[in-house]
Amino acid sequence: MAKNQASNGSDPVTSDESTEETVSTVGKGAPTPTRKQQEAANKRPLVPGDRKEAAKAARAKSAEVRERARIGMANGEEKYLPMRDRGEQKRYVRDYVDARFSIGEFMIPVMFLVIILTFIPSPQVQTYGILALWAFFLIAVVDSVILGFTLTRKLAAKYGKDKVEKVRWYAAMRALQLRAMRLPKPQVKRFQFPS
């Protein structure tokens, strides 16, 4: 038998150790937990221990997320913009409108001035104020129409005629707002038109 072991070239002590190593690595090393134990490990309380503290933390977290989204939208970050403001062409339109001097920007101050004029007891002043408001409104509409045609032509030249989005209404609504009240906020200075 010693000859057989010698011919195999294995030592009885070494073969026992390797068998023990194999046995110890096979298997998971712990008994399978019962269903009751597994369900108990998965249970989490539906309501935290301190509900007021948890609600306060949730409010603080949601306020932080809202504030980040508000700042991102004001800065024109694409992922925070609503769908109507997303895209390269919409950015071009915003930059073009913000670089341009629009008559419609002064719609709100003119309307405020007309409201003040209506408090003057003279019917003549009130009539002239209303006529001036309508004239201003008509000029602002004509300016917005010209802006829409200009932007459509520029976008067709830049992106191709078949890929131009409908942006006339979008441009007109932005042009009728005061520059300081526009969202996203203007990213260009006056007369710094996009290329």
pLDDT (tens digit, 9 = 90+) per residue, 107-143? 999 999 999 988 989 999 989 999 999 999 999 999 9
- For 157, counting Cβ atoms within 10 Å of its Cβ (0-12 exposed, 13-18 middle, 19+ buried), the class is exposed
pLDDT tier, 51 (very low <50, low <70, confident <90, very high otherwise): confident
Q: How far apart are the C-alpha atoms of 165 and 145, rounded to whole Å?
A: 16
Residue 147 pLDDT exceeds 50: yes
- The type of residue at 172 is A
Average pLDDT score over residue span 30-51: 82
- The type of residue at 158 is K
Structure-token pair, residue 109: 């101050």
pLDDT of residue 6: 46
Average pLDDT score over residue span 141-170: 93
**Choice among 35-44, 71-80, 128-137 with the minimum mean pLDDT:** 35-44
Cβ contact 96:175 at 8 Å: no
pLDDT tier, 28 (very low <50, low <70, confident <90, very high otherwise): confident
Q: How far apart are the C-alpha atoms of 181 and 56, rounded to whole Å?
A: 32
Positive or negative torsion for Cα 106, 110, 111, 116: positive
What mean pLDDT is reported for the chain? 85
Residue with tokens 């067709």: 156
Cβ contact 155:89 at 8 Å: yes
Whether the model pTM is above 0.85: no
pLDDT digits (tens, 9 = 90+) for 162-194: 888 999 999 999 999 999 999 999 999 999 999
Q: Which residues touch 103 (CB under 8 Å, ≥6 apart)?
A: 136, 139, 140, 143
pLDDT digits (tens, 9 = 90+) for 9-25: 445 555 555 555 555 55
pLDDT of residue 87: 92
pLDDT of residue 1: 46
- The proportion of the chain whose per-residue pLDDT surpasses 70, expressed as a percent, equals 84
